[in-house]
């Protein structure tokens, strides 16, 4: 799993975290929340919008709102290839 995450980050993906607020199917006045995380590409967020479409199609609790943030964990200049490691005691 770690290799997949690193590969995605090197391809420009960042960690997207979304908090979905939805209404309970049997109690429309009650809001509940669900937190979703996945590596996604900004600014289009294809995985996030696919998940929202899935939710609207398959989940009975209608969405009230979605709040999300995106963070690239590796940026240009932060990744470097290290050939050797020298330890000094």
In this prediction, residue 88 carries a pLDDT of: 61
How many residues does the structure list for the chain? 89
Residues (pLDDT < 70) of the chain are 1-2, 75-89
Output the pLDDT for position 33.
95
Predicted structure pTM score: 0.76
Question: Looking at residue 49, what is its pLDDT?
Answer: 96
How much of the chain is in helix, strand and coil states, percent to nearest 5? 25, 40, 35
* Residue 73 confidence (pLDDT): 76
Whole-number pLDDT of residue 35: 97
Rounded Cα distance, 72 and 32, in Å = 28
In angstroms, the CA 25 to CA 53 distance is 18
Contact 63, 25 (CB under 8 A): no
Q: What is the pLDDT of residue 57?
A: 96
């Amino acid at each position: 799993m770690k290799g997949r995450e690193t590969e995605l980050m090197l391809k420009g993906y960042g960690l997207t975290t979304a908090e979905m607020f939805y209404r309970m199917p049997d109690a429309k006045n009650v809001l509940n929340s669900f937190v979703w995380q996945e590596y996604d590409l900004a600014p289009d967020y294809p995985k996030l919008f696919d998940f929202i479409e899935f939710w609207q199609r398959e989940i009975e609790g209608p969405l009230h709102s979605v709040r999300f943030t995106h963070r690239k964990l590796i940026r240009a200049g932060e990744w470097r290839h290290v050939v050797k490691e020298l330890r000094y005691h």
